[in-house]
């Protein structure tokens, strides 16, 4: 067993993601036998003292069956209706499967705003911690009944990555219809140090039942591993594949976590929150941030885009427009228009109030890796 697989086997907190195609097996309804198998796997992992959080797709897929639709809807309002009809069925099936093992399901429906707001992000993280203490199994899904393309996280693979670093997970396991990431010869690539080497093997297609494909799984793997969380992309069937993965067997594709993982606050800045705008820096400011671990001062700002308030996350760009990091701003976009390029000592006169000397303090800065 390799050291990377040994680390997965030693994981104490795990997030698993199950897609619609896995849960239905390509049919129009949820596979109850598969859910029972996963409940057995979760029971086994819990008996070993491990915590398991489930990110479960399937609400829309279940709704298709409940509403007797011929196919997955395309129109947003019809998708929302299918999710609304299917979510109770999905949770009823999860609850029944877990209760047969003496476990209890806890439903959490989230949206992108729950991760964009630091306060709501922390509340979500605290709720997960409380559920772990109380012994419940969190079943997380995006709130598809109100989500639109503009406010959606985009896919439950990406949601699973957000849940992984919100919960402080050691490993994210994304279960799919494929045996893992496959090379040109069809063989599973057992491990990779990052997702760059895997991207060339990915086709752009997804299943007819879900939104994602292997590309979104690699996106989620990239998000989680940059936050210091190992990610395994592996087969969702049979149901005992999860336990085999978490026992360190060479099942699926393991993407190793980056070393030197940032703090929880910096992980949120870098990966969870959606930037409210962007701030462009001159070369001197870029060097100060990347080479000297300095704060961003107004005199290094040469422009910005978007409308943001004090405390919002913004993307920090070099003169060519490449993102070098993200940070929490101490001034609004209206105020930055006044002070950009100026010395910090001029702030109080220019703004008519006392203000932080830094546009972004280094403690609230997450550099791109």
pLDDT tens per residue, range 82-133: 888 889 999 999 999 999 999 999 999 988 888 888 888 889 989 999 999 9
Domain identity same for 52 and 189: yes
Nearest to 230 by CA among 238, 221, 217, 239: 221
Domain identity same for 191 and 147: yes
pLDDT tens per residue, range 199-258: 887 765 544 444 457 888 999 999 889 888 999 999 999 888 999 999 999 999 999 988
Domain identity same for 54 and 157: yes
Domain identity same for 59 and 182: yes
The answer to whether residue 270 is domain-embedded is no
Task: Report how many domains make up the chain.
Answer: 2
What does the pLDDT read at residue 315?
96
Domain identity same for 144 and 261: yes
Domain identity same for 95 and 203: yes
User: CA 340, CA 300: separation in Å to the nearest integer?
Assistant: 8
Domain identity same for 310 and 172: no
User: CA 247, CA 7: separation in Å to the nearest integer?
Assistant: 10
Is residue 149 scored above 50 in pLDDT? no
The residue behind tokens 């029971």 is 43
Give bridge partners of residue 278 from the DSSP assignment.
305, 315
The answer to whether residue 112 is domain-embedded is yes
Domain identity same for 260 and 280: no
Domain identity same for 147 and 283: no
Q: What is the CATH number for 300?
A: 2.30.130.10
* Last residue in a domain, options 265, 287, 314: 265
What does the pLDDT read at residue 117?
82
What is the pTM assigned to this prediction? 0.79
Domain identity same for 293 and 250: no
* Last residue in a domain, options 240, 265, 290: 265
Q: What is the CATH number for 60?
A: 3.40.1160.10
For the segment 261-273, the average pLDDT, to the nearest whole number, is 75
pLDDT tens per residue, range 280-303: 999 999 999 999 999 999 999 999
Band of residue 37 on the pLDDT scale cut at 50, 70, 90:
very high
Domain that holds residue 66: 3-265
Give bridge partners of residue 281 from the DSSP assignment.
301
């Amino acid at each position: 067993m390799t050291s990377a697989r040994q680390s997965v086997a030693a994981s104490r907190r795990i997030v698993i993601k199950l897609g619609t195609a896995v849960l239905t097996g390509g049919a129009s309804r949820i596979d109850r036998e598969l859910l029972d198998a996963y409940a057995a796997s979760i029971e086994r992992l819990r008996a070993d003292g491990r915590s398991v959080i489930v990110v479960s797709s399937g609400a829309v897929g279940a709704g298709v069956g409940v509403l007797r639709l011929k196919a997955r809807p395309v129109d947003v309002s019809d998708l929302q209706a299918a999710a609304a009809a299917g979510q109770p069925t999905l949770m009823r099936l999860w609850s029944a499967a877990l209760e047969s093992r003496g476990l209890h399901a806890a439903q959490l429906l989230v949206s992108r705003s729950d991760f964009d707001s630091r306060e709501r992000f922390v509340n979500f993280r605290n709720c997960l911690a409380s559920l772990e203490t109380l012994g419940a199994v969190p079943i997380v899904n995006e709130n598809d009944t109100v989500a639109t393309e503009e406010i959606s996280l985009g896919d439950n693979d990406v949601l699973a990555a957000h849940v992984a670093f919100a919960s402080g997970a050691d490993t994210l396991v994304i279960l799919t219809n494929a045996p893992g990431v496959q090379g040109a010869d069809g063989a599973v690539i057992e491990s990779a140090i990052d997702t760059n080497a895997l991207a060339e093997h990915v086709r752009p297609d997804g299943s007819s039942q879900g939104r994602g494909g292997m590309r979104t799984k690699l996106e989620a793997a990239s998000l989680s591993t940059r936050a210091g969380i190992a990610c395994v992309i592996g087969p969702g069937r049979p149901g005992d594949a999860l336990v085999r993965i978490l026992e360190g067997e060479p099942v699926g594709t393991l993407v190793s976590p980056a070393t030197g993982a940032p703090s929880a606050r910096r992980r949120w800045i870098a990966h969870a929150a959606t930037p409210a705008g962007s701030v462009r820096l001159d070369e001197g400011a870029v060097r100060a941030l990347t080479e000297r671990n300095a704060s961003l001062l107004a005199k290094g700002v040469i422009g910005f885009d978007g409308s943001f308030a004090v405390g919002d996350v913004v993307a920090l760009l070099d003169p060519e427009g490449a993102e070098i990091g993200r940070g929490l701003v101490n001034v609004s976009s209206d105020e930055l228009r006044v002070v950009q390029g100026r010395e910090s000592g001029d702030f109080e006169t220019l703004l008519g109030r006392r203000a932080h000397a830094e546009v972004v303090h280094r403690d609230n800065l997450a550099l791109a890796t």
